[in-house]
Each structure stands twice: as C-alpha cells, then as structure tokens.
C-alpha cells in the first residue's frame, strides 16, 4: 500500500467519522431539548405525556430536516474528494 493510498484512506475515514458525529449531534440535541421542554410543560400544566409526545415529534421533524440538508452538503463534499 502506497503512502498516497494511506493518506486517501485516512481522509475517507476522517470524513466518515465527521459525518457520524455531526449526524449524531443533529439528532440528539433537538430530541433532548424538546423532550425536556415537553416534560417541563407537562408538569406545569398537568397534561400527562401530551407535550412530551409533541416535543418528540417536533424534534424528529427538525432532526430530519437538518439531516437532509447536511446529507446534501456532505454528498457534494464527497464528490469533491474523488
């Protein structure tokens, strides 16, 4: 394996790790924030899990939108790596 192949492989591995960590944060942060907000609203208004469920659904929609936009950006970046 040549030195150039090792550097190229390393670039792909680092790119993959960057994507995985970025996507993970893009999913986790909205879910945590909106579920905690939902729990707080449930306690404040005594509505049971209503706001918790709404918060989770909103977080899922926001996360999906963020992931979609980032996937397009990362797709273009991957094409430039070739």
CB 27 within 8 Å of CB 6: no
Please indicate, yes or no, whether the overall pTM of this predicted structure exceeds 0.85: no
**Across 36-45, average pLDDT:** 95
Query: What's the token pair of residue 24?
Result: 């993970």
CB 73 within 8 Å of CB 18: no
In the chain, where are the structural domains located?
3-81
The pLDDT tens digits of the residues spanning 48-71 come to 899 999 999 999 999 999 999 999
The pLDDT confidence band at residue 2, using thresholds 50, 70 and 90, is low
Q: How far is CA 61 from CA 32, 52, 58, 64, in A?
A: 14, 14, 5, 5
């Amino acid at each position: 394996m040549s030195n150039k192949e090792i550097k190229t492989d390393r670039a792909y591995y680092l790119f993959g790790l960057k994507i995985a960590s970025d996507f993970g944060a893009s999913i986790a942060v909205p879910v945590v924030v909106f579920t905690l907000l939902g729990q707080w609203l449930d306690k404040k208004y005594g509505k049971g899990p209503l706001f918790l469920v709404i918060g989770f659904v909103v977080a899922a929609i926001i996360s999906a939108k963020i992931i979609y936009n980032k996937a397009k950006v990362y797709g273009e970046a991957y094409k430039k790596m070739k």
